[in-house]
Structure 1
Amino acid sequence: LDQQTRAVFVELILYNPHANLFSVVTVAVEFTTTGAAYTGAEVVTLRLVQHGAIVLLLLRGTLALFLLYFLLREGKSLLSRPVEYLSGFWSWVEVWIITIGFSTLGVYFKAQSIIDEVAEKRQSGSTPFEQYKSAAGWFQVYTYLLGFLICCTTLKFIHLLRFNSHVRALSVTMRKSAKPVLQFLFVAGIFMMAYTQAGNLVFGVKLQGYQNIQTSLQSLCMMMLGSFDFDELSGAKQVLGPLMFFSYQAMMQFILLSMFMAIIMDVYAEEQQDRAAENLRFLRILKETSVEIAGKMKHVSKNRTRESKQEEGNVIEPDNASRFDGVVSDFGKMW
């Protein structure tokens, strides 16, 4: 280290035998020409020694078979009706699931090959840090792809539950509230960026959590979730710190959050009224259809009674026909 040094990197490997986890750690310090020092750290934790690898391999093979089946099914649908298929949102969800699924399997086998190579060299005691870094990088890519795949499959699972009344009400509410929610998010984004820049200008010199726009935005999001240090803010700026804290919490918690809930609840109440109107309409149609069918049955019963009277020459007692007339009349009064 001398006056010409501009950056220092510390790279190390940590191993926890109890949890069987490796951590690839990179710590960096950058020095500017003005003498300031900026620090950064990256920690990636992964499992290099796999237990039950055969079971995991069988599960991933099963996933590959399912993906092949869905690929053939969606390919037939695409060839039979290409325009209709490409214009559907859920068709693209299926395409994303298949594409990301195969990509996830490919990245997994690539990462696993590097991990196996690292494990072999680790036993001989000659594993360079670059191979650990490469394994950690591929493992991160695999984790991101797997998370995106789970998100898409969860979305498809919710679509399969669309016949459930609660899920249907949720989907209809979100669809109807999309436009006002987007408008609300635009306004909320303006307020959020204003407070982000204010936090960076006010606390950026003294507090590490507000040293740039990205960290300031993260700190404000954590503050909105309830994770904050009021003493740190008031210690940095005795007047502007508490003032910004209370104004931000009042704006986000009491005003913007209440507006968001009001938008959702208003659309949900409107959806419930529409469902009630649909139920009344269905009951009215059911009543009209039932009365019409009962009238036809009454007419047929009278005709058969008249024919029986003419054939036998006797007076029919008011038993079945009269009773049926009474039932039809009572049924009409009930509605």
Structure 2
Amino acid sequence: MARKRRYELSVEDGSPMDTQVLSVFPELDTRTKKHLKEVAFSLVYALAVMLVAYLQRDWLSFYQREAVEQLVVRRRSLAVKPFSYIKTSSSFWTWTETHLMDALYDDGNENPLQSHSFYQVQWSKLRQERVSKDVPFTIPNDVLSSTFGHCKEPFSSYNKDWRDYGVGWTPRNDTGQNVTDPALLAWTHRTAEELREASFHGIHGVYHGGGYQVELSRNRTKTVAILRDLRSNDWIDEKTRAVFVQLTLYNPNSNLLTTVLLSVEFSVIGAAFPTHEVLVFPPYFGIVDLPVSFLASEIFLLLLSGYFVYVEGWRMYKMSFQYFKDFWHILDSVIIAEAFGTFGVFFYTQYVADVIYHQMDAVDEEGAWGSFVNYRKVAIWSQTYTYMLGILISLITVKLLHVLGSIVNGVTFLSATMCEAAASLSGFSVIFLICVAAFAQMVYLVVGNHLFTYSTFVGTLQEMLNWMLGDFDYDLVTDVSPHLGPAMVFLFNISFQLFLMMVFATILCEALALIRVQTEEEPRRDDLPPTLQTIVMEGTKSLRMRYQQAKAARKYRDVVVYEFETTDATGIELLCFEQSFEDRNGADVTGLWLTGGAGKM
């Protein structure tokens, strides 16, 4: 009985064909494949965070902010200067009765901002914070105290006034006065929780919200009457430390909200210091009302963060406390915490916005006095969400550079160079900081009393960084001190540009040269994955081999040879082969031939 054995032969050389499909990367082990997956995940995660950040910030935000500042803050005329020129309480009242009224109203009692597609959400308000009259503050100098009776006390949370007053800051008799009277609400203290107000960091203090609030009318004539009544009753007096003008604008063309806060701080020296804050943010009308692209990117990033938690949690479980001994594992934990902190801020912003929108609906239904709805808290949380996205992008970029460093030579040189130069750079940083502090102290003492940007030591340190970049006003410094000014600038440029920066570059060049020598002399460690160049070359080679194999298989896909034994009529045992294949014309051809035999004795 014939016993057949099946073979697939190569037509070219007659050797058996390998029917196993070649892997694209046959030389990569499990550890290397895991590393490549980590590189791919880090890259996708970084792109997802960048996409969310890009969709969160509208490109029209900058132009809307500039337009609002031009219409409200920088508005000026020949008779009255703009907001930034307010120096006294009298100039503040003049500005509110002229420029502010022109920005909010026109002669027809319509909002001129509507010509630029800006519509007020509710209406604007005034608010002030003041110090208490009961806090004593005497002159520390005994000689001068006999000449001057008292001095003004600075603002702080300890001497903030919390009491209610009558008109003109007179003591209030609660039993005889109606606290719901609109004219009396300007003299009634309200907490930050009642006003839903956020803190404001000014030049001369931190104001935690609350205070005495006045809401303006929808009619220009009534608003001017309210302002003149406040001015005649000394609503701003020597106890006032800050006055705020707040309004909220909406542009339907860009679908962006803008909160405007104009603050005038009255310091203890008697002068007024105006500052302003303009925040542009997208309207948060609810999760379902968000753009589909932004919502999809948020969900995708949330899913990636969940997978990241799973991977790092499993790694932490296997490594136990050894997990926290590696810096890069700690960085992964920080990235996870930052990511979910960012999601927490996003959902809390949605919650705050939902509360404010419900408040606005309630005000519209009741139509009561006190209808100003404060959106500034939503704007601040939206800005915080943007900042946290920026921090998350920075952290994930550091992780991406780390995982790329083991397979990309250029990134490897970067990280290795910084590690090699770490000791030298730490010593150089100490010298650098000492030099910066010394020059900052000298500049602060020379021009600090004359220029606002150098009025504080911290501000002077920031300006020193601008000096290193060449971004400073040389004429202002030399006008204040014609002799020391040029000398300070010259010495600073010689010390930093020609000396310290050259030392810094020398340290890095020396470390890079050492790394290059070590790379050429020492072979690559076995515990490191192959470089990206090796992976690409080997992968290309494997793909080429796979293509050739597939090409041969398509050409001779039905070549089959059977080996079997049989006997002829004389009883001699023969070894026969039977070949079956499909020729180029598609016809089946079968051949049988005798290759050898052996007689049986």
Q: CA deviation at 1:90?
A: 1.3
Q: CA deviation at 1:168?
A: 0.4
Q: Distance in 1 between matches of 2:270 and 2:431?
A: 40
Contact in 1 for aligned 2:356/2:373 (Cα 8 Å): no
Q: Which residue of 1 aligns with 2:347?
A: 109
Q: Which residue of 2 aligns with 1:236?
A: 480
Instruction: Please give the secondary structure, in 1, of the residue aligned with 2:315.
Output: helix
Q: Which residue of 1 aligns with 2:387?
A: 144
Q: Which residue of 1 aligns with 2:338?
A: 100
Contact in 2 for aligned 1:206/1:236 (Cα 8 Å): yes
Q: Distance in 2 between matches of 1:30 and 1:275?
A: 62
Q: Which residue of 2 aligns with 1:59?
A: 297
Q: Which residue of 1 aligns with 2:374?
A: 131
Q: Structure 1's 152 and 102: CA in aligned 2 closer, same or farther, altered over 3 A?
A: same
Q: Distance in 2 between matches of 1:10 and 1:76?
A: 54
Q: Structure 1's 125 and 227: CA in aligned 2 closer, same or farther, altered over 3 A?
A: farther
Q: Which residue of 2 aligns with 1:257?
A: 501
With 33-42 and 157-166 compared, the bigger mean Cα shift is at 33-42
Instruction: Please give the secondary structure, in 1, of the residue aligned with 2:375.
Output: helix
Determine if the alignment matches structure 1 residue 76 to structure 2 residue 76.
no
Q: Which residue of 2 aligns with 1:188?
A: 432
Contact in 2 for aligned 1:20/1:49 (Cα 8 Å): no
Determine if the alignment matches structure 1 residue 210 to structure 2 residue 454.
yes
Aligned residues: 282
Q: Which residue of 2 aligns with 1:30?
A: 265
Q: Distance in 2 between matches of 1:2 and 1:52?
A: 46
Per-residue CA deviations over 1:106-156 (Å, capped at 9, x if unaligned) read 111111233355567668986966631211221232122211111111111
Where is the helix percentage greater, Structure 1 or Structure 2? 1
Contact in 2 for aligned 1:100/1:145 (Cα 8 Å): yes
Q: CA deviation at 1:258?
A: 0.9
With 133-142 and 157-166 compared, the bigger mean Cα shift is at 133-142
Q: Structure 1's 234 and 184: CA in aligned 2 closer, same or farther, altered over 3 A?
A: same
Determine if the alignment matches structure 1 residue 45 to structure 2 residue 280.
yes
Contact in 1 for aligned 2:244/2:262 (Cα 8 Å): yes
Residue 324 of structure 2: which of 86, 90, 93 is its match?
86
Q: Distance in 1 between matches of 2:441 and 2:397?
A: 36
Q: CA deviation at 1:22?
A: 3.2
Contact in 2 for aligned 1:200/1:211 (Cα 8 Å): yes
Q: Which residue of 2 aligns with 1:173?
A: 417
Q: Which residue of 1 aligns with 2:598?
A: none
CA-atom RMSD in angstroms: 2.8
Letter of the 1:92 counterpart: I
Letter of the 1:226 counterpart: G
Q: Which residue of 2 aligns with 1:274?
A: 518
Q: Distance in 2 between matches of 1:128 and 1:166?
A: 61
With 52-61 and 223-232 compared, the bigger mean Cα shift is at 52-61
Q: CA deviation at 1:27?
A: 3.4
Identity %: 33
Q: Which residue of 2 aligns with 1:227?
A: 471
Instruction: Give the gaps of 5 or more residues in structure 1.
Output: 281-335
Letter of the 1:221 counterpart: L
Contact in 2 for aligned 1:114/1:131 (Cα 8 Å): no
Q: Structure 1's 44 and 151: CA in aligned 2 closer, same or farther, altered over 3 A?
A: same
Letter of the 1:218 counterpart: Q
Contact in 1 for aligned 2:284/2:350 (Cα 8 Å): no
Q: Which residue of 1 aligns with 2:396?
A: 153
Instruction: Please give the secondary structure, in 2, of the residue aligned with 1:206.
Output: coil
Contact in 2 for aligned 1:48/1:119 (Cα 8 Å): no
Q: Distance in 1 between matches of 2:296 and 2:320?
A: 34
Instruction: Please give the secondary structure, in 2, of the residue aligned with 1:187.
Output: helix
Q: With a CA cutoff of 8 Å and minimum separation of 6, indicate the structure with the bigger relative contact order.
A: 2
Instruction: Please give the secondary structure, in 2, of the residue aligned with 1:35.
Output: coil
Instruction: Please give the secondary structure, in 1, of the residue aligned with 2:328.
Output: helix
Q: Distance in 1 between matches of 2:297 and 2:371?
A: 32
Q: Which residue of 1 aligns with 2:218?
A: none
Q: After the TM superposition, which residues 281-320 of structure 1 pair with which residues of structure 2 at under 5 Å, given as runs?
A: none
Instruction: Please give the secondary structure, in 2, of the residue aligned with 1:2.
Output: coil
Letter of the 1:42 counterpart: E
Q: Which residue of 1 aligns with 2:74?
A: none
Q: CA deviation at 1:63?
A: 1.4
Q: Structure 1's 244 and 20: CA in aligned 2 closer, same or farther, altered over 3 A?
A: farther
Letter of the 1:22 counterpart: L
Per-residue CA deviations over 1:84-107 (Å, capped at 9, x if unaligned) read 212111111111111111111111
Instruction: Give the gaps of 5 or more residues in structure 2.
Output: 1-235, 365-369, 525-601
Letter of the 1:138 counterpart: W
Letter of the 2:452 counterpart: Q
Q: CA deviation at 1:58?
A: 1.9
With 81-90 and 39-48 compared, the bigger mean Cα shift is at 39-48
Q: Structure 1's 214 and 149: CA in aligned 2 closer, same or farther, altered over 3 A?
A: same
TM-score for the superposition, normalised by structure 2: 0.43
Q: CA deviation at 1:31?
A: 2.9
Q: Distance in 2 between matches of 1:112 and 1:239?
A: 57
